[in-house]
Structure 1
Amino acid sequence: MSSWGKFFRKKRFRIIVGAIYTLLAVSMLIGFFLPHGRYERLFKIIGYYWLGISLYEIIALMIALLIRFIILHTRFATREIWGRRRTLFFSGLISATLALSICLYGVVNAHHIRTTNYEVSINKKAGHLKDLNICLIADLHMGYNIGVEHITQMVDKINATKPDLVVIAGDIFDNEYDALDHPDELIKQFKRIKSKYGLFAVYGNHDIEEHILAGFTFGEGKQEADPRMDQFLKKANIKNLRDESVVIDNSFTLYGRPDYNKPGKGIKQRKTPSECTQSLDHSKPIIMIDHEPKELEEKSKAGVDLDLGGHTHDGQAFPANIITNIVWENACGHIKKGHMHSIVTSGVGIFGPFIRVATKAEICSIKVHFK
């Protein structure tokens, strides 16, 4: 132990460790100022992972210091056995090991997309339809972290559910279109999706061109989607609904809302739920896509039968999922508000570090029964 202590106290070792730590800490900032390219991608990805590791390093260090305090201030151990220097060493070792273990689990967990099944009933007739199989996806965040491999896995999972309708509830992109690794290949993957009635989507708060650093927006952008994002959806056969509805197979109505905070080009203020549904045929089932799961009471009163959303990521990584459950009436999963069903997905992708702890990446297969 003493030899290790001498090694750690060497000036050369401290300089090397300090330089590596500083590079990791400022990697996201470096990537922010670099021009688009491989080095920008590299530094941003490193920075995202560093954010995740730092979060759990802080949590793990707090746990380790608590253990050290208990050891030093109880009758179960003496200071001769657990001296201050030794406990300090083991506190750091425990915190580093715990943080890295959690992050490694989080990375593996985030890469594995699961299928969550729901079954709901709507007390309305839907033309000749008795049942409808909807596949809900959201929060793909295609960009620096989410690329062809993850989307290919997603498409395979979607097709395995044999959907009648595929719904994408926002945050398809991760703000920067240039962050896509292979746009043409991604489009090919979306075109592989087999759906009887097609693919419909709405934009979320990240489907606009913005410069973001560690979750904060810089610069005064137009808060509009990059025109290439719109073209991407058209090429991928995805119909983007912007405060508009479509009647499908003369059986049910699908309504797509722009994002609550960032509605995008040409929409200064989106319609209220009652304005959305006032001209719709209420004898037919009304299904609404809304990125953020807000205004559930208002939607129910406006006649919406099924509300589909995302945005929350279910907190993505513990302990954030505790906060989301406090903030959102339906942070993830299924609840019923009056006659209306609200289903919120934790999402396919991630925001920031490619880590999920105590949450899951998912697609949702929703079996809808009609009267």
Structure 2
Amino acid sequence: MIAVHLSTIYLLAVWYLARRALAWTRTWCKTAHKKWFAVIHYAVFAFLALSLVIEFFLPDGTIFQRLMKLISNYWLGILLYLILFIGVADIIKIALRRSHVLKDDLYKSKKAFGIVGLFVCIGIVSMSVYGIVNAQVIRTTKYDITVDKACAAGDEMKIVLMADTHLGYNIGTKMLKKAVAKVNAMDADIVCFAGDFFDNEYEALQDDEAMIELFKSIKSKYGTYACWGNHDVAEKILAGFTFNNDKKSTKLTDPRFEEFLQKADIKLLADEAVLVDDAFYIVGRRDAEKPGNTGNSRMSPAEVMAGVDTSYPVIMVDHEPRDLKELSALGVDVDLNGHTHAGQVFPGNLTIGLMWDNAYGYLDVDGMDNIVTSGIGVFGPYMRTFTKSEIVEITVHFAA
């Protein structure tokens, strides 16, 4: 029912935006007044608006379905800034008119409307292009932390944290190749991956064998450890809403996902703890939202930490930054997360902090070091505005 109401609002919003865009175009283009132009104009908006639905019902893995998925992903990002810029411009206009700040003649002026429309258009195009380009640049974020425990591995350890590649329609071998090259240049002791390898659909992978080989080429002393995220399950997505392909099936995790990780030499930890080289623990948790197949459940912090000797340094890998105080009290020293994308696109980067104690970056939680990465990939629109795609390099200093 929520989806029905939201789809109605969505279609009304697109219709309003299409009308405003046509009205502005007519201020500088005489051809835009012709009936055939209006038909084409509304047809383009209708196609873009329905691209999400068209893609959803097409057979998975086909060229046309992939093309429609890319179009719909870019459309969602552009739509956001259409709403923001046109909406803000109209709200300002109404506020100024009601406050009688400017003369009424100015509001009726086609020239003024055209100038405002030009600035709105520049804003939409600029933000969209910036977001698309920015999403493809992988940056490195560094942290130096201290754990007040001795470690048999040495006085210092370098952890590389990756998360949220969302391999699929947006992120392919090109982006992954850049990421792996950056990781290998860091000379890591251990690589931790905090979930969302995939974007729900294995068929979306451009070249799974090439991606497996890229992951296998990651170099580190102790290997690569990972946990699942909420998108590492087999579900179709329509405008952010997920749908299980087979409602009768109890299997949400596509077995090909796990086979992929095994072939890539990535050690998956699903509510498991591993003592590495008799020096430190790596603990990986099931995802809080999507713990796996029907019947699977996520252990509590106390359950997953049972049997862990906290005299050793303990590194936790969990997709979402949850249970922070409880984990700290149980003896976890370093908690590594992803999921939030740091909000991914403006204004999400301003509101994401309302949802999490630590939505991005570093937080000291009663002596536990919590680090949340914005991740490498994106969900939905292939854009990042005022956030960054990143790999995190953490230097951990241990007590002598």
Query: Aligning the two structures, in what range does the TM-score lie when normalised by the shorter sequence?
Result: over 0.9
- 2:81 is paired with a residue whose SS is helix
Shift of 1:338: 0.8
Residues 85-127 of structure 1: per-residue CA shift (max 9 Å, x gap): 3333333332222111101000111000000000111111111
CA contact (8 A) 2:106 2:112 kept: no
Structure 2 residue 75 is matched with structure 1 residue 50 = yes
Shift of 1:214: 0.8
> Residues 101-140 of structure 1: matches in 2 within 5 Å?
101-140=126-165
Q: Partners in 1 of 2:44 and 2:149 — Cα distance? A: 62
- 1:335 is paired with a residue whose SS is strand
Structure 2 residue 337 is matched with structure 1 residue 313 = no
Residues 224-273 of structure 1: per-residue CA shift (max 9 Å, x gap): 22111111101111010111111111110001000011111376322111
User: Residue 86 of structure 1 aligns to which amino acid in structure 2?
Assistant: K
What root-mean-square deviation, in Å, do the aligned CA atoms of Structure 1 and Structure 2 show?
A: 2.0
Shift of 1:74: 8.4
> Runs of 5+ in structure 2 lacking a partner?
1-24
Selected match of 1:230 from 258, 261, 281: 258
> Residues 275-290 of structure 1: matches in 2 within 5 Å?
275-290=303-318
Aligned match of 1:65? 90
CA shift in 2, pair 1:120/1:223, >3 Å: farther
CA shift in 2, pair 1:336/1:81, >3 Å: closer
Shift of 1:62: 2.5
Shift of 1:132: 0.7
Structure 2 residue 115 is matched with structure 1 residue 87 = no
Aligned residues: 371
Shift of 1:84: 3.5
CA shift in 2, pair 1:136/1:2, >3 Å: closer
Selected match of 1:261 from 289, 306, 320: 289
CA contact (8 A) 1:63 1:95 kept: no
Q: Partners in 2 of 1:267 and 1:208 — Cα distance? A: 14
Selected match of 1:218 from 230, 233, 243: 243
User: Residue 291 of structure 2 aligns to which amino acid in structure 1?
Assistant: P
- 1:349 is paired with a residue whose SS is coil
CA shift in 2, pair 1:10/1:118, >3 Å: same
Range 231-240 or range 85-94, more displaced: 85-94
Q: Partners in 2 of 1:246 and 1:288 — Cα distance? A: 10
The alignment's TM-score, normalised by the length of structure 2, stands at 0.88
CA contact (8 A) 2:273 2:305 kept: no
The alignment's TM-score, normalised by the length of structure 1, stands at 0.95
CA shift in 2, pair 1:74/1:275, >3 Å: closer
Residues 302-329 of structure 1: per-residue CA shift (max 9 Å, x gap): 1111100000000100111222111100
Identity over the aligned pairs, expressed in percent? 44
Shift of 1:2: 8.4
Aligned match of 1:353? 381
Aligned match of 2:54? 30
Aligned match of 1:13? 37
Structure 2 residue 171 is matched with structure 1 residue 143 = no
Q: Partners in 2 of 1:22 and 1:43 — Cα distance? A: 14
User: Residue 156 of structure 1 aligns to which amino acid in structure 2?
Assistant: A
- 2:283 is paired with a residue whose SS is strand
> Residues 117-196 of structure 1: matches in 2 within 5 Å?
117-196=142-221
Q: Partners in 2 of 1:174 and 1:343 — Cα distance? A: 23
Shift of 1:71: 7.2
Q: Partners in 2 of 1:210 and 1:27 — Cα distance? A: 18
> Runs of 5+ in structure 1 lacking a partner?
none
Shift of 1:79: 5.5
CA contact (8 A) 2:362 2:371 kept: yes
Q: Partners in 2 of 1:57 and 1:69 — Cα distance? A: 18
